[in-house]
């Protein structure tokens, strides 16, 4: 149980450690009051970061196979998630939020340094604009 739990939050911990380590300030975790419940938000600067699970949000790069049973159910469910993600992004942008979306696979250890470099650059750009 414990092992599953910590495995699940490893990417979150990586992201949080990155934000602290890079000296970013004014961010908060899991903001339920913001549209779409982003993983990270900078409320004052109106920047949100979503980390989308590759299976649940239909990552085109990982292209995870759907379960064989109830194939149509899963297909419809994931399609709805993708549409919901788009709708949340659109609504946020209409309300002048800047939205960064990361895939879960981008937070994996072996590609993290590349993702972190991108994220740092992107955040600095948005925070300064
Ligand atoms: Zn992926």
| pLDDT at residue number 8 | 54
Question: Which residues are registered as beta bridge partners of 101?
Answer: 50
The total number of structural domains in the chain stands at 1
Residue labelled with tokens 């759907």: 66
Ligand 1 centre to CA of 50 (Å) is 13
Q: What is the CATH number of the domain that holds 73?
A: 3.40.960.10
Ligand 1 centre to CA of 82 (Å) is 13
| pLDDT at residue number 78 | 96
Q: In what order do the strands lie in the sheet with 47-52?
A: 28-29, 40-42, 47-52, 98-103
The number of residues in the chain equals 129
Specify if 18 maps to a domain. Answer: yes
Residue 104 pLDDT grade (very low, low, confident, very high; cuts 50, 70, 90): very high
| pLDDT at residue number 62 | 95
Residue labelled with tokens 């890079």: 22
| pLDDT at residue number 10 | 81
Specify if 15 maps to a domain. Answer: yes
Ligand 1 centre to CA of 104 (Å) is 6
Closest CA to 108 of 2, 38, 14, 6: 14
Ligand 1 centre to CA of 17 (Å) is 21
Ligand 1 centre to CA of 55 (Å) is 7
Specify if 42 maps to a domain. Answer: no
Span 37-72, pLDDT tens digits:
999 999 999 999 999 999 999 999 998 888 889 999
Residue 5 pLDDT grade (very low, low, confident, very high; cuts 50, 70, 90): very low
Ligand 1 centre to CA of 75 (Å) is 16
Specify if 66 maps to a domain. Answer: yes
| Domain coverage including residue 17 | 1-31+48-111
| pLDDT at residue number 12 | 81
Beta strands in 1-109 (DSSP E): 28-29, 40-42, 47-52, 98-103
């Amino acid at each position: 149980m414990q092992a599953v739990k910590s495995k699940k939050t490893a990417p979150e911990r990586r992201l949080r450690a990155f934000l602290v380590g890079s000296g970013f300030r004014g961010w908060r975790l899991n903001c339920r009051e913001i549209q779409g419940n982003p993983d990270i938000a900078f409320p004052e600067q109106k920047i949100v970061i979503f980390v989308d699970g590759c299976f649940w949000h239909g990552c085109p790069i990982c292209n995870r196979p759907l379960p064989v049973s109830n194939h149509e159910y899963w297909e419809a469910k994931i399609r709805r998630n993708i549409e919901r993600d788009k709708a949340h992004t659109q609504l946020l942008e209409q309300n002048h939020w800047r939205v960064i979306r990361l895939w879960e696979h981008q937070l994996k250890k072996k590609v993290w340094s590349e993702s972190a470099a991108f994220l740092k650059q992107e955040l600095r750009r948005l925070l300064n604009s």
